[in-house]
Amino acid sequence: MREINLAKFVKGILALCLWLVGLQNCSLNSRQTKTLGDFSSQTVTVAKVGSKELVNMRQGVIAMNLSRIQMSGQQDGMPWYDDLDEKFDVRVVAIRLKALNTLLAYGSLLQALADTNPEKGINQATDRFIKQVKGLPKIQRSINDAQLSALAKAIQIIGINYMEERKKKAIRSILEISKPQIDFLCDKLADEFDHRKDGKLASQYLLTINNLFFTADDFYFDNKDQTKKEQALQAIQLANFHKERKNNYLLQISGAIHNLKKANAMLYKAFTQDSFDAKSLDDLVRNVQSLQEIQQILQK
Amino acid sequence: MPNFDMEIIEGDSDKPNAHTSIGAIIEHITTLRMQTRDRAARRELGLLYRKYSQLLQKKIDEVVDKDSQDYLKITGQLEKANESIQAAIAGTEQVANTLNFLTDAIQTITELAS
């Protein structure tokens, strides 16, 4: 068996270390961490509130149609008992709920990837590796404990930085592929809550509200009976409740989804226009110092 | 009797751009109708309401169905992106796995050599 040329081995390791640590900006910078956190938390809010409100809109449409039918019976051109939910049928709502949930999963997974810390696993694996190497008979004669510890530290620095760099590259690549899809979903979903966009679910909500106003007004106008007039007033109250939600709450949700699209643009920019910041500089200085110490130990 | 159709389409001069959608026209007709007790005016507004509500419902039927197809397509693509992220999360253990493999290999070779 040939003698292990330790000096050559160490030089190789250090050259690789310097290349990995010195030439690359490995870990996520503070701007990337912040924009990712913002995007992820906004997907949670939008998905939770949006899902809840889609279901509420559907229930509101059913309640308003029931109220209208109780006053007018079957009307030409208006939905009947077999179509109380109108365009809010289960399939249509389920497709949009799935889109919101997929968006939520995307935001959460991206955050989980950014939060993954390979350090613990690498440190444990390095300790095991060094113990095994230390047990080799040729190594025992050519390298002391301090040098082995320095080697372990070098492996850890290389491993962690390599994984951080890979993680960052993975996020960048995912963002490049997914940005148009996220933008598309944000535009579509924001419009679903905006009654000013004809043809979207919020405009179905608007139409049902106005159908109820229309019928209740006729019912009030055509009846002398006090009980029926009260029934009409209750229907108008119900329509007013939903009109308020449509004009205020739903538009806020639409705005929040537009903001999510902006957060996605910021996130994309942070990863595609990578830059050094104070944190990256600190990391780099710390790594270079560690490498210098390692080099000194190994040269003894 | 006022020409409601023209009034509705031209809109209220105090609220510019108030009537840019069919939905806004429908809301305006509803408000006008609830404000008048004149039977002829109510009938006229009723006809207008029917016209615009049918127009809007037709548009809703078209747009919602088309959007559903788009959602299915894009959601499917995003699910694939999510799978890539999961694979990347699993890949963060790569260095540790490689070291563990090397350690096991050294151990096996040492045992075989002794």
DSSP tag of A29:
P
> Which residues does chain A have with pLDDT short of 50?
1, 23
Question: Which chain B residues in 41-80 lie under 8 Å from chain A, judged by CB atoms?
Answer: 42, 46, 49-50, 53-54, 56-57, 59-64, 67-68, 70-72, 74-75, 77-79
* Contact flag B103-A124 (C-beta cutoff 8 Å): no
Q: Taking all residues of chain B, what is their mean pLDDT, rounded to a whole number?
A: 84
A70 neighbors A231 (Cβ within 8 angstroms) = yes
Read off the amino acid at residue B9.
Answer: I
* Contact flag B56-A178 (C-beta cutoff 8 Å): no
**Residue A37, pLDDT score:** 94
Q: Determine contact: B84 vs chain A, CB below 8 A.
A: yes
CA of B112 to nearest chain A CA: how many angstroms apart? 13
d(CA A210, CA A175): 42
User: What region does A253 belong to: left with phi over 0, alpha with psi -120 to 50, or beta?
Assistant: alpha
CA of B79 to nearest chain A CA: how many angstroms apart? 7
**Residue A290, pLDDT score:** 72
State both tokens at B8: 């509705």
Give me the half-sphere count of Cα atoms (radius 13 Å) on the Cβ side of residue A16.
Answer: 15
Q: What ipTM goes with this model? A: 0.82
| pLDDT one-digit tens code per residue, B22-72 | 999 999 999 999 999 999 999 999 999 999 999 999 999 999 999 999 999
Interface size A-B, in CB pairs within 8 Å, comes to: 176
Record the pTM: 0.82
d(CA A255, CA A50): 11
B85: nearest CB among A87, A110, A197: A110
A chain contacts of residue B68, beta-carbon cutoff 8 Å = 91-92, 95
Burial A130-157 (b: 16+ CB within 10 A, else e): bebbeebeeeeeebeeebbebbbbbbbb
- 10 Å CB burial of residue A171 (0-12, 13-18, 19+) is buried
Query: Residue A258: helix, strand or coil by DSSP?
Result: helix
Kindly state the helix (H) or strand (E) to which residue B45 belongs, with its residue range. Answer: helix B39-91
| pLDDT one-digit tens code per residue, B8-22 | 554 444 444 544 799
| pLDDT one-digit tens code per residue, A201-221 | 999 999 999 999 999 999 999
Burial A15-28 (b: 16+ CB within 10 A, else e): eebeebbeeebbbb
Read off the amino acid at residue A131.
Answer: K
Write down how long chain B is. 114
d(CA B69, CA B65): 7
DSSP-assigned states of every residue in A230-295:
HHHHHHHHHHHHHHHIIIIIHHHHHHHHHHHHHHHHHHHHHHHS----HHHHHHHHHHHHHHHHHH
Cα-Cα end-to-end distance for chain A: 25
Contacts for B35 with CB less than 8 Å, ≥ 6 apart: none
Closest chain B residue to the Cα of A179, Cα to Cα: B78
Kindly state the helix (H) or strand (E) to which residue B102 belongs, with its residue range. Answer: helix B94-113
* Contact flag B68-A95 (C-beta cutoff 8 Å): yes
DSSP tag of A195:
T
d(CA A57, CA A64): 10
B77 alpha-carbon distance from chain centroid: 16
Q: Which residue has the tokens 């903001």?
A: A259
Residues A79, B50, A67: CA angle, nearest 5 degrees = 35
* Contact flag A210-B75 (C-beta cutoff 8 Å): no
Write down how long chain A is. 300
d(CA A271, CA A263): 13
Residue B20 Cα distances to B1, B10, B24, angstroms: 25, 10, 7
Residues A270, A276, A280: CA angle, nearest 5 degrees = 105
CA of B99 to nearest chain A CA: how many angstroms apart? 6
d(CA A74, CA A21): 75
